[in-house]
Amino acid sequence: MKTFAELGFPGRLIAVEGLDGSGKSTQIYLLKRWLEQQQLKVYFSEWNSSEIVKAATSKGKKRELLTPTTFSLIHATDFADRYERHLVPLLRAGYLVLCDRYIFTAFARDVVRGCPPEWVRGIYNFAAHPDLTFFFKADLEVSLQRILDGRPQLKYFEAGMDLRLSTDPYESFRIFQGRMLEQYLAMSTEFNFIVLDANQLIEAQQATVRELVSQRVDLGRFRQADRPAPKALRKPAKKVRELEKEIVE
Amino acid sequence: MKRVSKNQILVPLRSKRRFYGHGIPRVDLEQLAGKLIVVEGADGSGRSTQIAMLVEWLEAGGHATVQVGLKRSTLVSEELDRAQEGNILSRTTLSLFYATDFADQLENIILPALKAGFIVLADRYIYTLMARDMVRGMDEAWLKNVYGIALEPDAVFYLNVPPEELVQRNFAKNMTLDYWESGMDIGLSRDMFDSFMQYQRAVEKTFRHLQTTYGFTILDGMRSPDAIHMELRKKASAVLAGK
Q: To the nearest whole number, what is the mean pLDDT of chain A?
A: 90
| pLDDT tens, residue by residue, A5-63 | 999 999 999 999 999 889 999 999 999 999 999 999 999 999 999 988 888 898 888 88
The DSSP 8-state label assigned to residue B31 in this structure reads G
Contact call for A116 and B99, based on CB within 8 A: no
β B119-123/B35-40 pair status: parallel
| Residue B217 backbone zone (phi > 0: left; psi -120 to 50: alpha; other: beta) | beta
Residues of B in contact with A53 (CB under 8 A): 79, 83, 93, 97
Residue B21 and residue A119: Cβ atoms within 8 Å?
yes
Query: Residue A217 in contact with residue A12, Cβ under 8 Å?
Result: yes
List CB contacts (< 8 A) between B92 and chain A.
80, 83-84, 126
Mean pLDDT of chain B: 92
With CB atoms and an 8 Å threshold, state whether A52 touches B89.
yes
Pairing of strands B217-220, B155-160: parallel
Beta pairing class for A42-46 and A96-100: parallel
Q: Per residue, what are the HEC states of chain A?
A: CCECCCCCCCCEEEEEEECCCCCHHHHHHHHHHHHHHCCECEEEEECCCCCCCHHHHHHHHHCCCCCHHHHHHHHHHHHHHHHHHHHHHHHHCCCEEEEECCHHHHHHHHHHCCCCHHHHHHHHHHCCECCEEEEEECCHHHHHHHHHHHCCCCCCCCCCHHHCCCCCHHHHHHHHHHHHHHHHHHHCCCCCEEEEECCCCHHHHHHHHHHHHHHHCCHHHHECCCCCCCHHHHHHHHHHHHHHHHHHC
- pLDDT value at position B8? 75
> For B162-212, what is each residue's pLDDT tens digit?
999 999 999 998 888 998 899 998 889 999 999 999 999 999 999 999 999
- Judge whether A1 lies within some domain: no
CB contacts, 8 Å: A83 with chain B: 92
Least confident residue range of A45-49, A149-153, B3-7: B3-7
pLDDT tier at B160, thresholds 50, 70, 90 = very high
Virtual torsion, Cα B221, B225, B227, B228, nearest 10 deg: 50
Contact residues on chain A for B137, CB-CB shorter than 8 A: none
Of A119-128, B5-14, B20-29, the one with minimum mean pLDDT is B5-14
Superfamily of domain B34-68+118-240: P-loop containing nucleotide triphosphate hydrolases (3.40.50.300)
Strand runs (DSSP E) across B16-173, as ranges?
Answer: 35-40, 65-69, 119-123, 155-160
Contact list, A56 vs chain B (CB under 8 Å): 75-76, 78-80, 100
Annotated domain spans of chain B = 34-68+118-240
Classify residue A123: in a domain, yes or no: yes
The pLDDT, as a whole number, for residue A49 is 92
**High-pLDDT (> 90) share of chain A, %:** 72
Segment B46-100, tens digit of pLDDT = 999 999 999 999 999 999 999 999 999 989 898 888 888 876 788 999 999 999 9
Count of domains for chain A: 1
Find the mean pLDDT for residues A151-167. Answer: 86
pLDDT above 80 for A79: yes
Kindly identify which residue of chain A lies nearest to residue B107, measuring between CA atoms: A67
Is residue A170 within 8 A of residue A160, CB to CB? The reply is no
Instruction: Read off the pLDDT of each residue in B215-232 and give the average, rounded to a whole number.
Output: 96
A65, A85, A114: residue with CB nearest B25? A114
Chain B CB contacts of A85 under 8 Å are 88, 90, 93
Question: CB–CB of B88 and A52 under 8 A?
Answer: yes
Residue type, A188: S
Instruction: Residue A166: give its domain's CATH number.
Output: 3.40.50.300
Closest Cα of chain A to B162: distance in Å?
33
User: Are B142 and A122 inside 8 Å of each other by CB?
Assistant: yes
Residues of B within 8 A of A76 (CB-CB) are 96
Rounded alpha-carbon distances, angstroms, from residue A107 to A4, A17, A118, A159, B49: 19, 11, 9, 18, 43
Q: Strand, helix or coil at B95?
A: helix
User: What local confidence, expressed as pLDDT, does residue A249 receive?
Assistant: 47
User: Which residues form the domain of A182?
Assistant: 12-248
Which candidate from A59, A73, A122 shows the least CB-CB separation from B96? A73
Bigger pLDDT: B155 vs B26: B155
Q: What pLDDT shows up at residue B15?
A: 78
- At A155 the pLDDT is 85
Using CA atoms, how far apart are residues B151 and B17, in angstroms rounded to an integer? 8
Provide the β-strand partners of residue B158. Answer: B40, B218
| Interatomic CA distance for residues B83 and B94, integer angstroms | 9
Number of Cβ within a 10 Å radius of residue B212:
7
Contact call for residues B232 and B157 (beta carbons, < 8 A):
yes
Work out the number of other CB atoms within 10 angstroms of the CB of residue B43: 19
Chain A, chain B: beta-carbon pairs less than 8 Å apart = 93
Interface of A with B (CB under 8 A): 50, 52-53, 55-56, 59-60, 65-70, 73-74, 76-77, 80-81, 83-85, 114-116, 118-119, 122-123, 125-126
- The model's pLDDT over B132-156, given as tens digits with 9 standing for 90+, comes to 999 999 999 999 999 999 999 999 9
Average confidence (pLDDT) over A171-178? 93
Confidence of residue B4 (pLDDT cuts 50, 70, 90): low
pLDDT classification of A224: cutoffs 50, 70, 90: confident
Mean pLDDT of A189-214: 96
Residues of A in contact with B149 (CB under 8 A): 69, 119
Separation between Cα atoms, residue B63 and residue B65, nearest integer Å: 6
Whether the per-residue pLDDT at B10 is higher than 80: the answer is: yes
Distances (CA, A) of B15 to A115, B31, B34, B35: 26, 11, 9, 9
Cβ-count burial of A223 within 10 angstroms (0-12 exposed, 13-18 middle, 19+ buried)?
exposed
Q: State the distance between the two ends of chain A, measured CA to CA, in whole angstroms.
A: 64
Amino acid B139: pLDDT = 97
CB-nearest partner of A70 from B78, B90, B104? B104
